[in-house]
Amino acid sequence: MSVTIARPRSLRGEITSPGDKSVSHRAVIFNALSNTNTAKITNFSPGADCSSTEHIMKSLGVEITRKLGGGADGDTLTVKGVGLEGLVEPDDILDAGNSGTTTRLMSGVLAGQDFVSVLTGDQSLKNRPMGRVVNPLTTMGAKISGRANNTLAPLVFHGGSLRGINYNMPVASAQLKSCLLLAGLRADGITNLSQPAESRDHTERMLSAMGAVLKKEGLDLILQPSELETIDVEVPGDISSAAFWMIAAVCHPDAELLIRNVGVNPTRSGIIIALKKMNAQLKLMDERQVAGEPVADVLVRTSDLKGIELSGDTVPLLIDEIPVIAVAAAVADGETVIKDAQELRVKESDRIESSISWLRAAGINAEGTSDGMIISGNQQINGGSFQSYDDHRLAMSLGIAGLISEQPITISDPDVASISYPGFWGTVKELGGLVG
């Protein structure tokens, strides 16, 4: 199957971004580990990744019910907490599908349980590095085995007690720190994590709201063993999903889009920082707080973009958005240089290599580096047929390229977008871009 996208005459309307994946994952896991009250999670992400987390928690004995939403509304989940000690040994292997977030967060949960469990995923996930969570968990006392010297899934958790550690994180990673904080909840002693830079802080916000004894001192996180209390969570719209429409609007010659209910957490809003630096016409409207998370409506218009450098502490704040930022870089005035993004090499695809591959095939002067890419601007994206590399963000980035290219773009295997954004192609169609 494939889809073909052609540039509509104009891009105008309102879009509601689906529920944030990062918040959805955490809302299910944390509430499941809370006391025996029941929590309600609204606007839960419809993507396959978050469904993987839901299914794993059910396999561990957590009672979860799901009510499907309609239209722009996400699904609603009810989760009955079992407490930190209430999970049960699963009957079968736990399947995380394509979700690295599920795998790494659940590793923190399973590491200290009093039973044996096996965690695996699809072929792509089995090739993604897990040593960065296995090594510190092992230091905490966990007994974990896996392929390639315990660095690749499937991972086997053999059960046992954990102790708190002082740990200097080698990379700024929300998944790594969340894994270790989850393990630290039931460890013996204090867990102290030193981050090299900020990364998304949904875990810290939610754990604190649920009663965890967690302090932040600069870039250090200090957690005492803690019981959690269930809380209701209204999940904001996913800024990583909204980013596609932001890029489409600023690059299209006649566009004005209002994207509703977008989570604009400062540790996630690197895309807004980058676009404003590129001279984008972008405005946050009706800024508000929802369940402890900052939310806004985002108004975006056709813009005269300029090339920029993205590096350093900004990169962890927009790591998931770089494939679609590359689309904007291709048409911006001047060169765009992306550095310090080596994390892209170990995503669903090697996102440096796969992005450079399609850009060059589309006539864009671009080169990959060990930790990023260099993209010459002032170029016209040529049409043609392109593969998605089985990577949801690559597929959707190609879809956005089709909305701004003067020639149609055909994308193979577009269904991979459902991993994070099942309604993506439907929105493209509503905007007038889907032609086949």
**C-alpha separations of 272 from 10, 237, 247 in Å:** 22, 15, 10
- Does residue 78 carry a pLDDT above 90? yes
Contact assessment for residue 152 and residue 172, using Cβ atoms and an 8 Å cutoff: no
If asked whether residues 67 and 173 sit together in one domain, one would say yes
In a domain, 436, yes or no: no
Window from 254-258, 265-269, 278-282 with minimum mean pLDDT: 265-269
Q: Model pTM?
A: 0.85
Question: What tens digit of pLDDT does each residue of 35-55 get?
Answer: 989 999 999 999 999 999 999
Q: Are 5 and 27 in contact (CB under 8 A)?
A: no
168 and 113 inside one domain: yes
**86-90, long-range: CB within 8 Å, 24+ apart, which pairs?**
86/36, 86/61, 87/32, 87/33, 87/60, 87/61, 87/62, 87/113, 87/115, 88/60, 88/61, 88/115, 89/115, 89/116, 89/117, 90/59, 90/60, 90/117
pLDDT at 92 over 80: yes
Residue 125 forms part of a structural domain: yes
* Residue 290 confidence (pLDDT) above 80: no
* Same domain, residue pair 208 and 248: no
Provide the percentage of residues in the chain whose pLDDT is more than 70: 99
pLDDT confidence of residue 73: 64
Is position 435 within any domain? no
Mean pLDDT of 224-247: 96
Of 219, 234, 249, the residue that ends a domain is 234
pLDDT of residue 289: 86
My answer on whether 218 and 320 are in the same domain is no
Place of tokens 């459902």: 418
Query: Do residue 48 and residue 122 come from a single domain?
Result: yes
| CA–CA distance, 366 with 364 (Å, rounded to integer) | 6
Same domain, 205 and 82: yes
- Of the listed ranges 76-80, 116-120, 171-175, 274-278, the one predicted with least confidence: 171-175
CA 276, distance to chain mean position in Å, is 21
- Give exposure, 66-88, as e/b (b: 16+ Cβ within 10 Å): eeebeeeebbbbebbbbebebbe
- Ranges 92-96, 286-290, 355-359: which has the least confidence: 286-290
Average pLDDT of span 212-231: 97
Q: Is the confidence at residue 72, as pLDDT, over 80?
A: no
Write the CATH number for 267.
Answer: 3.65.10.10
Average pLDDT for residues 315-336, to the nearest whole number?
Answer: 96
Please check whether residue 421 is in contact with residue 49, taking contact to mean a CB–CB distance below 8 angstroms: no
pLDDT, tens digit, 9 for 90 and up, residues 1-35? 899 999 999 999 999 989 999 999 999 999 999 99
Domain ranges, residue 150: 21-234
Grade residue 57 by pLDDT with cuts at 50, 70 and 90: very high
- The pLDDT of residue 249 is above 60: yes
Specify whether the CB–CB gap between 192 and 166 falls below 8 A. Answer: yes
Whether 255 is in a domain gets the answer yes
Number of domains within the chain: 2
| Domain co-membership, 211 together with 254 | no
The DSSP call for residue 236 is: P
Nearest to 214, CA basis, from 204, 227, 206: 204
Residues acting as catalytic residues? 320
Tell me the mean pLDDT in the region 318-347: 96
What's the mean pLDDT in 331-339? 97
Domain-embedded: residue 268:
yes
**Which residues, at least 6 apart from 252, have a Cβ–Cβ distance to it below 8 Å?**
7, 10, 11, 302, 403, 404
**CA atoms of 281 and 123, how far apart (whole Å):** 41
Which of 234, 250, 285 is where one domain is finished?
234
What average pLDDT is seen over the chain? Answer: 95
Looking at the fold, whether 122 and 176 belong to one and the same domain comes out as yes
Binning pLDDT at 50, 70 and 90, where does residue 160 land?
confident
> 180, 214, 234 — which closes off a domain?
234
Contacts of 311 (CB under 8 A, 6+ apart): 337, 338, 339, 340, 372
434 strand-pairing partners? 5
> Residue 70's pLDDT is what?
63
pLDDT above 90 covers what percent of the chain? 92
Residues 172-180 have a mean pLDDT of 95
Q: How far apart are CA 421 and CA 415, in angstroms?
A: 10
Residue 145 located in a structural domain: yes
What digits encode the pLDDT tens for the residues 98-118?
999 999 999 999 999 999 999
